[in-house]
Structure 1
Amino acid sequence: MNKNILGLDKQETANLVLELNGLLSNFQIYYQNLRGLHWNIKGKNFFELHVKFEEFYTDSQVKIDDIAERILTLQGKPLHTFSDYLKNASVPIGKDISNDVEGVELVVSSLSELLKIERIILGISDDANDEGTNSMMSDFIAEQEKTIWMLNSWLGK
């Protein structure tokens, strides 16, 4: 078999790198949405959501770095331009959102999209016996599912 330095199949790893770069792109758009929400939120829930959106974007920064470093660990090259991110992202782009409900709904829909991508990567990493990527995706999924539940509770759903 054609294995890389980590003992993983090179073709399966190349496919994982491609998918992880897609996830990286989506997280970058999600991160920027969160910055915009943090800056622009208005209304009676300002203090609560201003802090919450900062918590989310800080967490996203860590995940972005983790994804990029995983790509490098797999001997790939992480995407790093905004044009690449926009071309490869499927999360919704939030522009000029200042309404609390609209902002939280954007976060929920973004996390739902990220979950779809992460589950695809989870399946691929499982098939490739890539425990490092598999573990990272499992952790992301569990955390984001809980966040969606909490945000939906905030929305009264």
Structure 2
Amino acid sequence: MKMNSIGLDADKSIILSKDLNLLLATFQRYYQNLRGIHWNIKGKRFFDLHVKFEELYTDANLKVDLIAERILTLGGVPLHTFEDYISNSKVPVGKNISEDEAAIRLVVDSLKELLVIERKILAASDDANDEGTNSMMSDFITEQEKILWMMKAWLDEAI
């Protein structure tokens, strides 16, 4: 077994970096969706949602950087073009969404997709004994499960 410079199986690290690139692309589209609904939200809940969406896109932007840096740490190359993001993202595109319920629904649907990818990476990073990636995914999952619960509560839907 060939080890990389941080002491992990090099082959498993390359596979993990590919999975992380899928997460990166998906987060980039999620980020852009959040920017769009932040800019375009209308109605009586504007003030609350405008601030909430800014909070979410700021957090997503930070996570994008963490994911890209983890890919580099594992020896991979992070995707970095819009073409890459479009062809690899797993979340829906949210175009011209200005209605509150549709905006929250987009966040809920996106978080569900992100969680699927993150759980897959969590299992693979555990198998690779990659505590760095494992810890990052665990943190992301915990945060996003709470956001998903709150968004579902806002929609008056069961988790």
Aligned residue number for residue 92 of structure 2: 92
1:120-147 C-alpha deviation (Å, 9 max, x unpaired)? 0000000000000000000000000000
1:21 Cα deviation after fit:
0.3
- Unpaired runs of at least 5, structure 2: none
Aligned residue number for residue 144 of structure 2: 144
Q: Percent identity over the alignment?
A: 65
Aligned residue number for residue 122 of structure 2: 122
* Letter of the structure 1 residue corresponding to residue 124 of structure 2: I
1:54-74 C-alpha deviation (Å, 9 max, x unpaired)? 000000010000000101111
Aligned residue number for residue 134 of structure 2: 134
1:38 Cα deviation after fit:
0.3
- Unpaired runs of at least 5, structure 1: none
Q: How far apart are the structure 1 equivalents of 2:69 and 2:29?
A: 18
Q: Please identify runs of 4+ aligned residues in structure 1 that moved more than 2 A.
A: none
SS at match of 1:90: coil
Q: How far apart are the structure 1 equivalents of 2:14 and 2:71?
A: 10
1:14-33 C-alpha deviation (Å, 9 max, x unpaired)? 00000000000000000000
Aligned length: 157
Q: How far apart are the structure 1 equivalents of 2:17 and 2:71?
A: 6
TM-score (structure 2 length as normaliser): 0.98
Aligned residue number for residue 21 of structure 2: 21
TM-score (structure 1 length as normaliser): 0.99
